[in-house]
């Protein structure tokens, strides 16, 4: 691959532009709006069909759903805010919860599924922004559209995009920041805007900060001289100043530095993230949770990761694509090299960059856009063939993945347990729950926090728990036990002795689902007579 060809396809980066001068990046036209509308529908429909069935609930989804409910009702979260993540992400979900409550659609299904619908809206926004980013990177329309579909229709993307994760909330801000930073006119205040939007992404999910070098690289690459100095200074300052409002918030609450009797940003977030959280092991150890996680990603889709990584290697030759390559490199480094905890949803922010690298190769194959009178050149035929061949090769994998994710029901047991709890458990009972049930019980008249619905994680770890529920399992009446909860009790990373004791002092009154998917409704054995009754089983 020669650099000349690359420059020919992706024109030089830094020459000043005048109004009316030939641009290397097209001005958006009506056709772009049509394409974006099509992509939004294409991605939205695939994401939406089956979001109530696939994938199975992760406890984090319940946590963020219940926290957005809490924000709407006056506090950052239902329990002591532990600085595990900045709160802007779920705070921004609160207006949607408000909308749902105002429209009266709460309580009809699970609140977590309502929150998943919000995630689909965000994925639609991602699709539009990704198309914009691709166009500003010099992609032809057809290639940009292919890029968005390769991302949005990947079974890996679909599965994660539906889940209520902070990464999904941060992603549109990350893509929005890139879109602004790629402003064709290289305007300083668009860079400032990019910095501000990026800061919102970081305050939604702190790992977004990993991509700061990408943003800086784009601006350095596209500016020169005094304009560059001013652009970097103003963008970085705006971004950092907004991000620092978060530690300032902790400082105001007297919770920045560690101290006795309160949580602190320092010990829960900075120290924990950097040093003490249990690691995921080495990628090269097949038994490690890191290997299993990466394996599970590839199990959902190996096309996009492999094609994207290949593209990233090839695109190191193209100056304009190098910031995106850097983004992929940072992501890979975190997956391969870091020794710390690697969460599953980490892949969410990586996937658009992989798709961009794949698209960039196809764009490069097509040669310079709009050059020459001959519409059909051997190069374009080759590029077109490559797109078609790739599409044909990827289709079976994507199609079967999408079909599986649209039809297989992994949510059913939890949904049935939810309905059972609402209709069978007395509403004045204390129920220890996986947070995915938390808001539903509230919507159906249960109290919450330390009476009524009680989230199991905080029951064990919140400093207030011991004083609010000093009797341990004796203060409880029922438990809603999900697979995630059982995994956590048997796992080694966090000890949850109070939850384990509650399970040990309870009996099953109803089970939903089979094997590993099983969700149990359990009743605390307060007196010997409680053991006498026969467990009532349900499908």
Partner 1 sequence: MFDFVTHLWIANVAISLPMVAFSLANLYWSTYAWHSPVTHEETTSSPARNDVHQHTFSVIVPLREEPIEVVGATIAKILAQTHPAVQPVCSVGYDDPDTLAVVRRLMDLYPGRITLAVSQSDVRNKPTQLNAALAACTGDVVGILDAESLSAPGLLSQIDATLQDPEIGVVQGGVMIVNHRASWVALRSSLEYYANHRSKMHFAAAHHFMLMGGNTVFFRRSLLDEVGGWDPEMLTEDAEIGVRLSVLGHDVRVAYQPHLVSREEAPTTIRSWVKQRTRWNLGFMQTIRKGVWRQLPTAGRRRFARWLLWQPSIMAISGVIIPLGVVVALFAPSPLWATMIAFLPAVPTVMLVVLDATMLYLFGREIGEKVRLIDYLLLVVTTPIYQLMSAYAAARAAVKYLLGDLRWEKTAHTGSHIEDIIDLTVYDRVAS
How near is the Cβ of 326 to partner 1 at its closest, in Å?
23
Instruction: Count the site residues for partner 1 by CB under 8 A.
Output: 30
- Distance of alpha carbon 463 from alpha carbon 479, whole angstroms: 21
Contact pick of 204, 223, 430, 506 for partner 1 (by CB under 8 A): 223
Q: Which is nearer to partner 1, 249 or 266 (CB)?
A: 249
Dig out the tokens for 76 from the structure.
Answer: 């950052």
Specify the stretch interacting with partner 1 by CB under 8 A; choose among 93-101, 212-220, 243-251, 337-345: 243-251
Strands, sheet with 453-455, edge to edge from the N-terminal-most edge strand: 453-455, 431-433, 478-481, 519-524, 506-512
Give bridge partners of residue 374 from the DSSP assignment.
Answer: none
Q: Which is nearer to partner 1, 91 or 161 (CB)?
A: 91
31 binds partner 1 (CB under 8 A): no
Q: Which is nearer to partner 1, 19 or 286 (CB)?
A: 19
User: Is the N-terminal amide bond of 55 cis, ω within 30° of 0?
Assistant: yes
Q: Which is nearer to partner 1, 242 or 454 (CB)?
A: 242
Give bridge partners of residue 448 from the DSSP assignment.
Answer: 453
234 binds partner 1 (CB under 8 A): yes
Residue 201 CB neighbour total at 10 angstroms:
29
How near is the Cβ of 65 to partner 1 at its closest, in Å?
21
- Distance of alpha carbon 329 from alpha carbon 312, whole angstroms: 8
Angle at alpha carbon of residue 418, lines to 292 and 494, rounded to 5°: 40
Specify the stretch interacting with partner 1 by CB under 8 A; choose among 3-11, 126-134, 230-238, 522-530: 230-238
Dig out the tokens for 377 from the structure.
Answer: 């050149």
Are 163 and 61 in contact, with CB atoms under 8 Å apart?
A: yes
How near is the Cβ of 242 to partner 1 at its closest, in Å?
6
Residue 490 CB neighbour total at 10 angstroms:
9
27 binds partner 1 (CB under 8 A): no
Q: Which is nearer to partner 1, 94 or 309 (CB)?
A: 94
- Distance of alpha carbon 471 from alpha carbon 410, whole angstroms: 35
Q: Which is nearer to partner 1, 244 or 302 (CB)?
A: 244
In this structure, are strands 506-512 and 453-455 parallel, antiparallel, or unpaired?
Answer: unpaired
Specify the stretch interacting with partner 1 by CB under 8 A; choose among 42-50, 231-239, 285-293, 520-528: 231-239
Q: Which is nearer to partner 1, 17 or 536 (CB)?
A: 17
How near is the Cβ of 91 to partner 1 at its closest, in Å?
9
Q: Which is nearer to partner 1, 191 or 364 (CB)?
A: 191
Q: Which is nearer to partner 1, 241 or 399 (CB)?
A: 241
Angle at alpha carbon of residue 309, lines to 308 and 312, rounded to 5°: 85
245 binds partner 1 (CB under 8 A): yes
Per-position x/- string for 167-206, each x denoting binding to partner 1 as judged by CB under 8 A, each - no binding: ------------------xxxxx-----------------
257 binds partner 1 (CB under 8 A): no
Q: How far, rounded to the nearest angstrom, does the alpha carbon of residue 252 sit from its chain's CA centroid?
A: 29
Kindly provide the b/e burial profile for residues 430-439, where b requires at least 16 CB atoms within 10 angstroms of the residue's own CB: bbbbbbbbbb
Are 431 and 453 in contact, with CB atoms under 8 Å apart?
A: yes
How near is the Cβ of 349 to partner 1 at its closest, in Å?
25
306 binds partner 1 (CB under 8 A): no
How near is the Cβ of 226 to partner 1 at its closest, in Å?
6
Angle at alpha carbon of residue 531, lines to 528 and 535, rounded to 5°: 165
18 binds partner 1 (CB under 8 A): yes
In this structure, are strands 478-481 and 519-524 parallel, antiparallel, or unpaired?
Answer: antiparallel
Contact pick of 1, 3, 8, 17 for partner 1 (by CB under 8 A): 17
Q: 35 by DSSP, 3-state: which? A: helix
Q: Which is nearer to partner 1, 189 or 302 (CB)?
A: 189
How near is the Cβ of 227 to partner 1 at its closest, in Å?
5
How near is the Cβ of 178 to partner 1 at its closest, in Å?
18
Classify residue 478 by its DSSP letter.
Answer: E
Residue 456 CB neighbour total at 10 angstroms:
26
Are 35 and 130 in contact, with CB atoms under 8 Å apart?
A: no
Dig out the tokens for 434 from the structure.
Answer: 């996986």
13 binds partner 1 (CB under 8 A): no
How near is the Cβ of 237 to partner 1 at its closest, in Å?
4
For residue 524, the surrounding DSSP H or E stretch is strand 519-524
262 binds partner 1 (CB under 8 A): no
Specify the stretch interacting with partner 1 by CB under 8 A; choose among 124-132, 219-227, 270-278, 392-400: 219-227
- Distance of alpha carbon 392 from alpha carbon 336, whole angstroms: 31
Per-position x/- string for 75-114, each x denoting binding to partner 1 as judged by CB under 8 A, each - no binding: -x--------------------------------------
Residues of this chain that bind partner 1 (CB under 8 A): 14-19, 76, 185-189, 223-227, 229-231, 233-234, 237-238, 241-242, 245, 248-249, 252
């Amino acid at each position: 691959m020669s650099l000349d060809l690359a420059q020919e396809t992706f024109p030089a980066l830094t020459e000043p532009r005048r109004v009316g001068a030939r641009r290397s990046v097209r001005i958006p036209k009506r056709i772009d709006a049509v394409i974006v509308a099509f992509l939004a529908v294409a991605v939205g429909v695939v994401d939406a069909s089956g979001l109530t069935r696939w994938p199975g609930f992760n406890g984090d989804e319940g946590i963020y759903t219940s926290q957005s409910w809490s924000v709407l009702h006056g506090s950052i979260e239902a329990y002591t805010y532990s600085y595990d993540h900045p709160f802007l992400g779920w705070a921004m979900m609160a207006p949607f919860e408000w909308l749902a409550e105002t429209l009266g659609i709460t309580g009809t299904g699970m609140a977590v599924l309502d929150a998943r619908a919000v995630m689909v809206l965000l994925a639609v926004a991602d699709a539009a922004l990704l198309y914009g980013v691709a166009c500003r990177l010099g992609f032809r329309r057809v290639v940009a559209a292919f890029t968005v579909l390769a991302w949005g229709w990947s079974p890996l993307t679909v599965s994660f995009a539906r889940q209520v994760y902070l990464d999904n909330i941060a992603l549109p801000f990350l893509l929005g920041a890139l879109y602004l930073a790629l402003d064709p006119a290289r305007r300083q205040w668009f860079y400032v805007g990019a910095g501000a939007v990026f800061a919102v992404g970081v305050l939604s999910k702190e790992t977004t900060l990993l991509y700061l070098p990408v943003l800086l690289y784009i601006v350095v690459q596209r500016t020169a001289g005094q304009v560059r100095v001013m652009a970097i200074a103003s963008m970085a300052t705006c971004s950092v100043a907004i991000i620092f409002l978060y530690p300032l918030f902790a400082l105001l609450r007297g919770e920045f530095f560690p101290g006795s009797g309160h949580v602190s940003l320092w010990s829960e977030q900075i120290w924990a993230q950097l040093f003490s959280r249990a690691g995921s092991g080495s990628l090269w150890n097949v038994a490690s949770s890191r290997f299993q996680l990466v394996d599970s990603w590839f199990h959902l889709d190996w096309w996009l990761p492999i094609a994207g990584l290949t593209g990233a290697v090839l695109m190191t030759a193209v100056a304009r694509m190098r910031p995106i390559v850097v983004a992929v490199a940072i992501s890979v480094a975190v997956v391969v090299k870091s020794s710390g905890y690697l969460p599953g949803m980490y892949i969410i922010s990586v996937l658009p960059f992989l798709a961009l690298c794949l698209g960039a190769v196809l764009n490069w194959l097509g040669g310079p856009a709009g050059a020459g009178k001959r519409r059909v050149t051997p190069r374009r035929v080759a590029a077109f063939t490559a797109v078609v061949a790739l599409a044909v090769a990827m289709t079976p994998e994507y199609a079967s993945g999408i079909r599986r994710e649209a039809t297989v029901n992994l949510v059913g047991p939890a949904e049935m347990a939810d309905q059972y709890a609402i209709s069978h458990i007395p509403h004045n009972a204390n129920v220890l729950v996986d947070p995915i049930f938390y808001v539903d019980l509230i919507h159906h008249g249960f109290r919450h926090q330390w009476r009524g619905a009680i989230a199991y994680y905080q029951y064990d770890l919140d400093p207030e728990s011991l004083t609010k529920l000093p009797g341990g399992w004796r203060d409880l009446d029922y438990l809603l036990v999900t697979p995630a909860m059982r995994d956590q009790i048997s796992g080694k990373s966090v000890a949850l002795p109070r939850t384990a004791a509650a399970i040990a002092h309870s009996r099953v009154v109803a089970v939903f689902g089979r094997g590993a998917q099983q969700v149990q409704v359990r009743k605390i054995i307060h007196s010997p007579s409680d053991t006498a009754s026969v467990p009532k089983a349900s499908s």
